[in-house]
Amino acid sequence: MSYPLLRSEDPELEHQTQTGLPSLVVAALGVVYGDIGTSPLYAFREALHATAGIGSHRDNVLGILSLIVWALTIVVTIKYVTFVLKADNRGEGGTLSLMTLARMSLSGRPVWVLVLGVAGASLFLGDAIITPAISVLSAVEGIQVVAPALSTWIVPITLTIIVVLFMVQRFGTGGVAAVFGPIMALWFLVLGVSGAIHVLDDPAIFAAVNPLHAVHYAANNASLTVAVLGAVFLAVTGAEALYVDLGHFGRRPIVTAWFALVFPCLLLNYFGQGAFVLDNPEMASHPFFGMHPEWARIPMVCLATAATVIASQAVISGAYSLVRQAMHLNLLPRLQILHTSETHSGQIFMPKVNGFLFVFVVALVLFFQNSSGLSAAYGIAVTGEMLITSVLLYVVMRHVWNWDQASAAAVIVPLFLIDAGFFVANVTKFANGGWVPVVVALTMGLIMQTWMAGRRLLAARTKTDEIPLAAVIDNLARKKPPTVPGTAIFLTSEVEGAPTALLHSLKHYKVLHEQNVILSVVTATTPFVPDDEKIFLESFNPLFSRLIITYGYMETPNIPRALLLVRKLGLKFDIMSTSFFLSRRTILPSRKGGMPFWQDRLFITLAKGASNATDYFRLPTGRVVELGLQTVI
């Protein structure tokens, strides 16, 4: 029979915090808006460079500003703030959450939705290696304005900051995060004030609000428009962070921060840069730092560097979170997760992911040497992810929100076309560096596809040798072997079949414990599972019980903690006299397998690099017994 579990407080639901709105707004500034908040360092500059000095300087400035203003308005304010933030999966956001929500809403859970989710996650990781490099480089490049003689030190200083940034990840961001929000609040206020001051250089700059300036610019500079659009898009990179970090803060603080501070300050700064460049055309190469008086430039370089480090930290933390989601959705192998906070489960450190990001970020800085070169690599991954978000959002509108086809199309088609325009503009930069995030995304996509295909193949091979659990229990009830005191918990991924560890234990030891629990851990399609839905306990006879523990894909499994909940259901055992039996599988390649031989080897390499079950499920190491077996795939 099965037993329900009385509700108890779930420590994983900490994101449903009761913290006041003002505190959440400030916190959101430090995590959500770090990336888009540092775009003024390079977006307007790169767009102006893309004009190559062709045409009227004033028309170019007004046209570019108009494109930036409407890109921020349509892509961020209308698409993400108005629509995407509402497409949450029980409060959680991000590509994988949206993919899960869309897939659940369609009958048969079509594979193409899963493919889009994998592609979006891969593109995010491609973007994650560029953000720290371009952000820190663009801030440190302020030295060129402050002290041109020190220009040769830009790359060494950047690398030093990046090394320190990645080294401190293992210590957690709890203490540092407390100052992230206030620093970013100061950053946005400085952006707004400095921009407002320079707007007075040429108040007519506000004419750029008229979208006709963008239209006229595009019409009169057809040969330059694609290149300029690729640079203009830099102003909205980071918009996806609004959705990725939805679960940390909730929709209201993110929306409040955008309209109350971020959006107006960004606009003021871009307008200020435009007016400054109109009044000082010779400063077009470094408008952001050039628009500040000499006494303020060194403090601005320092503040900009702090802001870019915060932006980089947000992307790194986002990469950890996304990889953890992918692991729990069985898109990636288990990797070591270290919790850096005793009170906040979301603060994690993943050594292998950290190492992967660090190597690529350092390589990018050494290869490109400057933020202008890196700007060519920026964009393809983000625009690709935004296109995927638009498609999945349409599915959610139709099948979750129950919009009619005409209404959903009226919203999505224009947004999709705008995203497609930015995507095409960024594809033109492929040869100049855009290939970098594409290669990373394709590599991650191949790894995810290989892992999913290998798992399916391994499950099929295991299925052929599987013995039904009911048959084993019935046989042991008729021919009961000797029993020993204590409890044995056998972990298995197959809910219906007899655990391989149980069969091998009987084969070698020829005894049973007086209490045997068949344990399966299942991942739900929701981000969190409350305690009253987490445990399923079924008793077969006095010797055997089946236990199924269900976690959300945002939760980190902790079996000892879950077993405390099981005790409330009447299953009595002493953890110190309980043994956990696992099967350690050695996978061997087969030239007649379901995958190419090279992909078999890749899958085996991934499996070997995966974190072992003892660490992943946080089992007491002194109570674990592992039994080995070989499987040919």
Residue extents of the structural domains in the chain: 19-453, 465-632
**CB-CB contact of 584 with 591 (8 Å):** no
Q: What are phi and psi of 584, to 5 degrees?
A: -100, 115
Please give the Cα distance from 325 to 478 (Å, whole number): 44
Please give the Cα distance from 630 to 633 (Å, whole number): 10
Question: At how many degrees (to 10) do helices 380-399 and 435-464 cross?
Answer: 50
The confidence score (pLDDT) of residue 14 equals 41
Please give the Cα distance from 171 to 347 (Å, whole number): 10
What tokens were used for 564?
Answer: 């405390």
Query: Is residue 187 classed as helix, strand or coil in its secondary structure?
Result: helix
CATH 1.20.1740.10 fits 19-453, yes or no: yes
Question: At how many degrees (to 10) do helices 597-609 and 435-464 cross?
Answer: 90
Please give the Cα distance from 86 to 401 (Å, whole number): 10
Q: What is the dihedral of CA 389, 394, 397, 398, to 10 degrees?
A: -150
* Beta-strand relationship, 2-3 and 338-339: unpaired
Q: What are phi and psi of 403, to 5 degrees?
A: -75, 150
Classify residue 206 by its DSSP letter.
Answer: G
User: Can you give the pTM of this predicted structure?
Assistant: 0.81
C-beta contacts of 203-211 below 8 A and 24+ residues apart: 203/275, 205/61, 205/62, 205/65, 205/271, 205/274, 205/275, 205/278, 206/271, 207/62, 208/61, 208/62, 208/63, 208/65, 208/66, 208/69, 208/271, 208/274, 209/66, 209/69, 210/66, 211/66, 211/70
pLDDT along the chain (633 residues), means of 10: 34 44 83 87 88 79 94 95 90 86 87 90 86 86 80 88 86 63 92 94 92 89 84 88 81 92 96 92 85 88 87 81 85 83 64 91 89 79 90 94 94 94 87 85 90 86 78 85 90 82 85 91 86 88 90 86 83 83 80 78 87 86 82 71
Q: What is the dihedral of CA 598, 600, 604, 610, to 10 degrees?
A: 100
**CB-CB contact of 500 with 627 (8 Å):** yes
What tokens were used for 38?
Answer: 């540092």
Q: What's the CA angle centered on 278, arms 275 and 284, to 5 degrees?
A: 100
Q: Is 404 exposed, middle or buried (0-12, 13-18, 19+ CB in 10 A)?
A: exposed
Please give the Cα distance from 117 to 97 (Å, whole number): 9
Query: Which candidate, 130, 163, 125, 184, places its Cα nearest to that of 318?
Result: 125
**CB-CB contact of 407 with 394 (8 Å):** no
**CB-CB contact of 558 with 337 (8 Å):** no
Query: Which candidate, 570, 123, 75, places its Cα nearest to that of 319?
Result: 123
The confidence score (pLDDT) of residue 12 equals 33
Q: How far is CA 353 from CA 87, 97, 137, 324, in A?
A: 28, 20, 22, 10
